Amino acid sequence: MNERRDHTRFLTYRETYEYFRRPGLPLLSWDEWRALDGELKALTALGSERNAEQRTRLQAVRALLLRD
């Protein structure tokens, strides 16, 4: 993991949060964002091997990270 690149992506998330968030969507802290970003990478890596629960979680994580 490249922390500098991740931090730049986190700052982009923070800057765009007010524009793209849905009502009730929390503003994530650095630690929360990093954990979800790691989870997103792991779920994405599963590709077509994802089960229904993992597909649902992937959608939820993408929404929290404003990547949907």
Q: What is the pTM of this model?
A: 0.88
pLDDT, average across residues 28-47: 97
Contacts of 6 (CB under 8 A, 6+ apart): 34, 37
In the predicted model, is pLDDT for residue 28 greater than 80? yes
Cα-flanking dihedrals φ and ψ of residue 64, to 5°? -65, -35
How far is Cα 29 from Cα 49, in angstroms, rounded to an integer?
A: 30
Where do the structural domains in the chain lie, given as residue ranges?
3-64
* pLDDT the model gives residue 63: 94
Rounded to whole angstroms, the Cα distance separating 15 from 11 reads 6
Mean residue pLDDT of the chain comes to: 94
